[in-house]
Chain A
Amino acid sequence: MKLGKIFRTAWEGLMLNKVRSFLTTLGVIIGVASVIVMLAVSAGAEAAIADQINALGANLIIVSPMRGVPGASRTLLLDDAYAIAEQVVGITGISAEQNPAPQNIRAGGVTLESIALVGTTADFPSVRDYAVAEGRYFTADEDERKAKLVVLGAGIAADLFGEESALGQTITVGTTKLTVIGVMEPKGIVSDVDYDGRIYLPINLVLQKYMPSSMLRTASVRTIYLKAESQEQIPSIIAQTTALLAERHDVDAAKPDFTVQTQQDIIATQEATTAAFRDLLAWVAGVSLLVGGIGIMNIMLVSVTERTREIGLRMALGARPANVLTQFLIEAVILSLAGGLIGVIVGVGGSYLFGSLGTMRTEIVPLSIPLAFGAAAAVGIFFGYYPATQAAKLDPIEALRRE
């Protein structure tokens, strides 16, 4: 008996009860869809982490004000950054950053509305692994002098000047005229930040011109990035920085008003949220496949009972026990594979849906599709085997006598 004929016979058997066959596959559908979404969430989380590293640069230590502590957002000062640069051993550079309110910028006839400004220190390109493509970045000296200079993100440069060189041009940012001295390399949108759509200014200039005056008095910064000489230095740098800032802020190092984190720390907290979701999906997938498998087994047992006479007849006509076994096994496998197919469609759709909700990123893993199909087929074979052996074991005379 050829496989094609076995499939046709099995298919005819299933089409006897279309609705029942479909309902039977629901468990497999949910299970397979969960597997695909789960792997897409994992892959999305990994991609987000890779992006994070790409966005911030390697071997980075991030100092920020403690979140949730009243007034703490103003306690991290530019002077803290200078103190760290001077006193902490093992760093190659620091980049203090501040983000004022967006401004309108104008050059010639072109006006761009509500553009993000970033005030940085001179080490920004090297600390953040983000190079200047054209021209140069400002120097520490220019920063200190509050020189009216600006470096443009690649997108802004294109929007303002098109093909023309931006270098040496004057642009108006808010109400202040600044000279363009450089254009950053294109970087795109990473971790929700559009690097190409921002402009980069000396932090001292930003603090003076673009921050509310209460901020100016304290010269606070949003984040200080430290670049370690090597991975090994990181623990020591964290300890030194924590001690130094605790002393400067006059707080207990065990209860600081700031945080000193590595990328690994940030990644770990992000991972914790996706991991919880992923684990939940793994459970859903496992339980659904199990329940789906039991559903298939149950329906196949019912089907064997209902079709006892048919089995007896087939045996009388010359079907060997193995023929009957294969027929019912294939029916179970077709059920589970049909569930697998629908599950893949639902899973891929669901992955896009979860991704578009914005809370987490999803990336469909191509390998998850054959994997999910494999899981579905395995469920069909495993749970279909017992009913199929029950069918094959039937005695033709008794089977034929059954009403």
Chain B
Amino acid sequence: MSDYLIEITGMKKVYGEGEAAVYALDGVDVQVARGEFVAIMGPSGSGKSTLMNIVGCLDRPTEGKYVLDGRDVSQMSKNELAKVRNEKLGFIFQSFNLLPRLSALANVMLPMLYTAEDVSDEEAEARAIAALTSVGLEKRLHHRPNQLSGGQQQRVAIARALVNHPPLILADEPTGNLDSKSSVEIMDILHNLHKSGVTIVMVTHEPDIAAHAERIICVKDGRILSDGRDGHSPCLDHKVLAG
């Protein structure tokens, strides 16, 4: 098995045609090793979310190749992609995306509805409780999202992302809707996850959030502007971020 969890070569994503064509991604090559914690930065509209959607198997590239965990996913069918998302990926969204009518526990159990092997109710519950405990919410199992703070909601979402034990966690601006105290809590959790060996790819606008990552990829106009591990990145410069 390759050392790389993610191998992307020559990736393009084009919206529209002819004159109106928008190159959201315009030739991206990137590899992410197992266990890395990567931050993606860049100005608004630079293609970060587009890249995340493709990495997250929610979208397919117009051109190029994407190998995830040793398998080429760029040409997979919708059903195959669904299976990959369920088994290999955990999503953390800026807006949490919890189902409001369900308890924290039921929200975390959702991914196990769609696993290939049937998970018994007891096992699903046990796994969900374990995941919620790992984010410190063992006392909030039966609370609904509207009974939880933003930080707690995002922790529920992290538990949901972890419950199927995926090798890769994708977070698109995970702290974008949170105050600084909650942001620190969330970053602590991601930090611990990283230490336990999970690969994390995170999009963020905030330099101090990006500072938690070991590697910062800077994207601009659909291309990779820089990719470094030394804690420096043109994207940390406010002029670049402003576009």
Measured CB to CB, the residues of A under 8 A from B are 1-2, 5, 9, 12, 16, 309-310, 313-323, 396-397, 400
Contacts and interface: CB of A to CB of B under 8 A. Distances in A.
Interface of B: 53, 56, 58-59, 78-79, 82-83, 85-87, 91, 93, 97, 99, 101-102, 110-111, 113-115, 118, 160, 164
Contacts of B59: 397
Contacts of A319: 82, 113-114
B53 A318 contact: no
A270 B165 CA distance: 74
A361 B215 CA distance: 84
B97 A5 contact: no
B79 A322 contact: yes
A310 B113 CA distance: 14
B230 to A, nearest CB: 33
B99 A320 contact: no
A12 B78 contact: no
A9 B97 contact: no
Contact of A318 (B82, B93, B101): B82
A323 B97 contact: no
Contacts, number: 63
Nearest to A13: B101
Given A313-B99, A316-B58, A318-B83, 4 more contacts: A316-B56, A318-B82, A396-B58, A400-B58
B118 A321 contact: no
B81 to A, nearest CB: 9
A5 B110 CA distance: 11
Nearest to A12: B101
Contacts of A316: 56, 58, 85, 91, 97
**A9, A309, A315, A396, most chain B CB atoms within 10 A:** A396
B97 A1 contact: no
A16 B85 contact: no
A400 B93 contact: yes
Contacts of A323: 82, 113-114
A314 B102 CA distance: 13
A316 B137 CA distance: 23
Given A2-B118, A319-B113, A313 B97 contact: yes
**A16, A313, A316, A319, most chain B CB atoms within 10 A:** A316
Given A1-B113, A320-B114, A315 B53 contact: no
Label chain A's interface by main secondary structure. helix
Contacts of A2: 118
Contacts of B113: 1, 5, 9, 317, 319, 323
B110 A317 contact: yes
B93 to A, nearest CB: 7
A318 B111 contact: yes
Nearest to B82: A320
Contacts of B58: 315-316, 396-397, 400
A309 B95 CA distance: 11
A321 B93 contact: no
A132 B26 CA distance: 105
A16 B58 CA distance: 28
B115 A318 contact: yes
A317 B111 contact: yes
A210 to B, nearest CB: 79
Contacts of A320: 78-79, 82-83, 114
B49 to A, nearest CB: 9
A314 B98 CA distance: 10
A315 B97 contact: no
A318 B85 contact: yes
A393 to B, nearest CB: 10
Contacts of B56: 316
21 contacts: A12-B102, A313-B97, A313-B99, A313-B110, A316-B56, A316-B58, A317-B85, A317-B110, A317-B111, A317-B113, A318-B83, A318-B85, A318-B86, A318-B111, A318-B114, A318-B115, A320-B79, A321-B78, A322-B79, A400-B58, A400-B93
B82 A309 contact: no
Contacts of B91: 316-317
B95 to A, nearest CB: 9
B57 to A, nearest CB: 9
B45 to A, nearest CB: 15
A310 B101 CA distance: 11
A266 to B, nearest CB: 63
A318 B87 contact: yes
Given A5-B113, A400-B97, A317 B160 contact: yes
A316 B58 CA distance: 7
Nearest to A317: B111
Contacts of B102: 12
A12 B91 CA distance: 24
Nearest to A399: B58
A318 B97 CA distance: 14
A12 B109 CA distance: 14
A86 to B, nearest CB: 88
Contact of A315 (B82, B93, B99, B115): B82
A315 B115 CA distance: 12
A396 B82 CA distance: 10
A397 B170 CA distance: 14
Given A12-B101, A397-B53, A400-B93, A321 B87 contact: no
Given A323-B114, A396-B58, A397-B58, A317 B86 contact: yes
A395 to B, nearest CB: 8
Given A397-B53, A400-B97, A317 B118 contact: no
Contacts of B82: 315, 318-321, 323
Nearest to A6: B113
A12 B107 CA distance: 13
